[in-house]
């Protein structure tokens, strides 16, 4: 049906289809949604895209996303700057933030070491993390990378670099999830939960 | 966690969240996708939004979406201009088009009569349809509105207007869907399939 396409509409559908988790039908629905917007609304959407892209960059300290020199967490006077939580992505930092339990600061690696995907230590923000520790004042680094092969390897790699600097390096606890069911826990998780058992 | 938000990012997430079928998590994923685009790609996305919105309007004959004076179907020399398929939305026209069986032209109503949603005949493009019939040369109007209460009411309303003009008005056949299972067909569909049975 290529001969009956409306070019600007198809282009918009194509752009939406490139997005993660958006198939052709959803892309079409989104494109029709855009067409039904008022002129102001459509311009607001386009402006939000360009603005977010041009204004947001890495925090000069923790490499999280921000539109200022320092991100809100790094520039907060109430956060404990001596405790650094190392995460893979900004979304992981948000997840930790949403627990409302963590009062320290973050360091965002922007990935994990993965030789298969051509991601080595130099592609991550490890250098910046080492610089922060070199500046002093850090007492603990919590490795909160994902519980995957890549996340574990990255945590191990970084901990080996940090240990000689005399800083305490910890890792998030593995175990059965709250509200989970032992019957359905996989054997690795259950083994880790046994290994890390606590006195009650 | 409002105090730790990054304004342009939150704005973009909000814009995506307004879209149909997009929840907060998906909106976040789309926003991070935009941030990871190159400058050129982000600008292409924003341009596609504004361009589609500013360039696309209704075809002056069939009210389908187009960026020209006439849509590709109306301006095609190979389409039968004497047969008009009346649909509710541009997407419905695309659905009929995808059958590759229909050689006539379309008329897009942009909705269906629905008193509950404050949509009356005047909110649809019925006037334009009557004008097309007044111009002559039309032998058949196929009502392809949705098989819903609103779609049926709209089809009935329009057919009553058209009958006195001496034009043949038809409706899409109701029946069991191809590949469907009698056991799972609802009673209304099955009753309609019985009623519309054909000699074999």
What's B27's domain CATH number?
1.10.8.420
| A73 and A154 both lie in a single domain | yes
Q: How many structural domains compose chain B?
A: 2
Contacts of B9 in chain A (CB under 8 A): 52, 56, 65, 67
| B78 and B128 both lie in a single domain | yes
Q: How far apart are CA A112 and CA A151, in angstroms?
A: 6
Is B194 among the domain residues?
Answer: no
Instruction: Decide if pLDDT at B3 tops 50.
Output: no
Report CB contact under 8 Å: A34, B45: no
Is B178 among the domain residues?
Answer: no
| A69 and A130 both lie in a single domain | yes
Q: Report the pLDDT value the prediction gives residue B100, as an integer from 0 to 100.
A: 84
Instruction: Decide if pLDDT at B198 tops 80.
Output: no
Report CB contact under 8 Å: A21, B1: no
| B41 and B79 both lie in a single domain | no
Is B181 among the domain residues?
Answer: no
Is A194 among the domain residues?
Answer: no
| A69 and A166 both lie in a single domain | yes
Q: Has this prediction a pTM greater than 0.80?
A: no
| B70 and B127 both lie in a single domain | yes
Lowest mean pLDDT, pick from A127-131, B106-110, B127-131, B164-168: B164-168
Residue of A nearest to B43 (CA): A50
What's B118's domain CATH number?
3.40.1360.10
Instruction: Decide if pLDDT at A183 tops 90.
Output: no
| B47 and B130 both lie in a single domain | no
Cβ neighbours, 10 Å, residue A185: 16
Task: Encode pLDDT of A101-124 as tens digits.
Answer: 889 999 999 999 999 989 999 999
What are the residues whose beta carbons fall under 8 Å from the beta carbon of A45, sequence distance 6 or more?
Answer: A34, A37, B15, B49
Instruction: Decide if pLDDT at B2 tops 50.
Output: no
Mean pLDDT of chain B: 88
Beta strand A65-66 pairing with A57-58:
antiparallel
Report CB contact under 8 Å: A9, B33: no
Task: Encode pLDDT of A137-146 as tens digits.
Answer: 899 999 999 8
- In the block, which residue shows the tokens 């307004």? B18
Question: What ipTM goes with this model?
Answer: 0.74
Is B27 among the domain residues?
Answer: yes
| B73 and B151 both lie in a single domain | yes
Is B15 among the domain residues?
Answer: yes
| A99 and A128 both lie in a single domain | yes
Q: Report the pLDDT value the prediction gives residue A4, as an integer from 0 to 100.
A: 60
Is A187 among the domain residues?
Answer: no
| B117 and B137 both lie in a single domain | yes
Q: Report the pLDDT value the prediction gives residue B4, as an integer from 0 to 100.
A: 61
Task: Encode pLDDT of A38-77 as tens digits.
Answer: 899 999 999 999 999 889 999 999 999 999 899 999 999 9
| A69 and A164 both lie in a single domain | yes
Question: What confidence category does residue A2 fall into, taking pLDDT thresholds of 50, 70 and 90?
Answer: very low
Q: Report the pLDDT value the prediction gives residue B96, as an integer from 0 to 100.
A: 87
Question: What confidence category does residue A172 fall into, taking pLDDT thresholds of 50, 70 and 90?
Answer: confident
Domain that residue B144 falls in: 65-171
Residue A9 Cα, gap to closest chain B Cα (Å): 6
| A80 and A47 both lie in a single domain | no
């Amino acid at each position: 049906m290529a001969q009956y396409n409306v070019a600007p509409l198809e282009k918009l559908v194509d752009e939406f289809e490139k997005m993660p988790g958006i198939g052709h039908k959803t892309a079409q629905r989104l494109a029709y949604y855009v067409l039904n917007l008022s002129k102001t609304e459509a311009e607001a959407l386009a402006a939000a895209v360009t603005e977010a892209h041009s204004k947001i960059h890495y925090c000069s300290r923790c490499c999280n996303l921000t539109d200022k020199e320092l991100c809100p967490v790094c520039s907060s006077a109430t956060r404990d700057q001596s405790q650094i939580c190392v995460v893979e992505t900004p979304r992981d930092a948000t997840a930790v933030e949403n627990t409302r339990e963590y009062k320290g600061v973050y360091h965002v690696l922007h990935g994990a070491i993965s030789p298969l995907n051509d991601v080595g230590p130099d592609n991550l923000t490890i250098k910046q993390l080492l610089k922060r520790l070199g500046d002093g004042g850090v007492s603990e680094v919590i490795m909160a990378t994902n519980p995957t092969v890549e996340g574990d390897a990255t945590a191990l790699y970084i901990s080996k670099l940090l240990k000689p600097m005399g800083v305490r390096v910890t890792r998030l606890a593995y175990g059965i999830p709250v509200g989970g069911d032992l019957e359905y826990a996989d054997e690795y998780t259950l083994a880790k939960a046994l290994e890390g058992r606590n006195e009650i």
